[in-house]
Amino acid sequence: MTDRRLNATVRGLVQGVGFRFYVVRVAKALRLSGTVANARDGSVRVVAEGPEERLRELADRLREGPSASAVKDVEIEWSDAAGAFRGFEVTFPGPE
């Protein structure tokens, strides 16, 4: 099975509520690689690679968010994995 890449932009009350660290915990539990970062527009950006089934589980969890968050929208784009990541981490500063 070929790995895929998920690029997600999560909007709502998602900064300052532990959202990035929630994503790291979920992604590591699903054995995915990638990054999560706050963006300047108030959203959170997620780039994750791994088996599509696990990425779809991550997408579902992004829509839920941690209890302190209020997710309004999750925009997802799919592509082939590039193999660019080792592990899953918070990056600074966030992508544009």
* Candidates 4, 5, 38, 54; catalytic one: 38
What does the H/E/C string look like for the chain?
CCCEEEEEEEEEECCCCCHHHHHHHHHHHCCCEEEEEECCCCCEEEEEEECHHHHHHHHHHHHHCCCCCEEEEEEEEEEECCCCCCCEEECCCCCC
Given the residues 5, 7, 11, 20, the one annotated as active site: 20
Is 7 noted as a catalytic residue in this protein?
no
38 belongs to the catalytic site: yes
Mind telling me the catalytic residues? 20, 38
